[in-house]
Amino acid sequence: MKNKHVGILILGMALLMFFIVMSFNMALEEIVNVSCTHGIACPMHSTLETQKAISYGLMSLLFLVGAFIFFFMKEETITKEIHTIHKEKSTEITSDKKKEIIENADEEEKMILNLLLNNQGSVYQSDVIKETKLTKVKVTRILDKLEGKGIIERKRRGMTNVIILK
């Protein structure tokens, strides 16, 4: 939702609540005037004034928050720009390019790439370690190299990574 819409929504709610509070305060004042026989010295009058000050103060605060959001809050264009930059950077590798990369890869890289191809292009890093029988450090270094070439992508999932073939 855009910030201007949120601001308008808050302003509308503040206006509605203002009329409800105003009618409540008027009804409460009428009840105090009828039931209090001591006049202005009655403690209910001072309580009524305190209640009015608090309720109108809260309504004005809510109105100011709505006005601030409506007039001064900027739209979140930064995240949209980041997504477009990310899309431009992540170009899809063609199948010919993948074949060329696999052919030029060393034996350990080929093992990992073939494992990815056999598992529909994604596999847990822990499964790579189990299947290839390589050490964690060795697998991490190979994956770093493949990720640097733009062949794979690692995404964190719990205590392990998911390796995705691009």
Q: What is the pLDDT of residues 123-150, one digit of tens each?
A: 999 999 999 999 999 999 999 998 888 8
CA–CA gap between residue 115 and residue 142 (Å, rounded)? 13
Q: Which residues, in sequence order, are CB contacts of 147 under 8 Å at separation 6+? A: 153, 154
pLDDT at 88: 47
CB 93 within 8 A of CB 150: yes
CB 151 within 8 A of CB 93: yes
pLDDT at 95: 66
pTM: 0.43
The CATH classification number of 91-165 equals 1.10.10.10
Pairing outcome for strands 152-157 and 122-124: unpaired
CA–CA gap between residue 139 and residue 161 (Å, rounded)? 12
Burial per residue of 10-43, b for 16 or more beta-carbon CB atoms within 10 angstroms, e otherwise: bbeebeeebeebeeeeeebbeeeeeeeeeeeeee
pLDDT at 23: 93
CA–CA gap between residue 90 and residue 8 (Å, rounded)? 39
pLDDT in tens, the chain (166 residues): 577 888 889 889 999 999 999 999 999 888 888 888 777 778 888 888 889 999 999 999 999 988 888 888 776 554 455 455 445 444 455 667 767 777 778 888 888 888 888 888 889 999 999 999 999 999 999 999 988 888 889 998 888 889 998 7
Q: Which residues, in sequence order, are CB contacts of 9 under 8 Å at separation 6+? A: 66
Dihedrals φ, ψ of 131, to 5°?
-70, -40
pLDDT at 118: 87
pLDDT at 148: 86
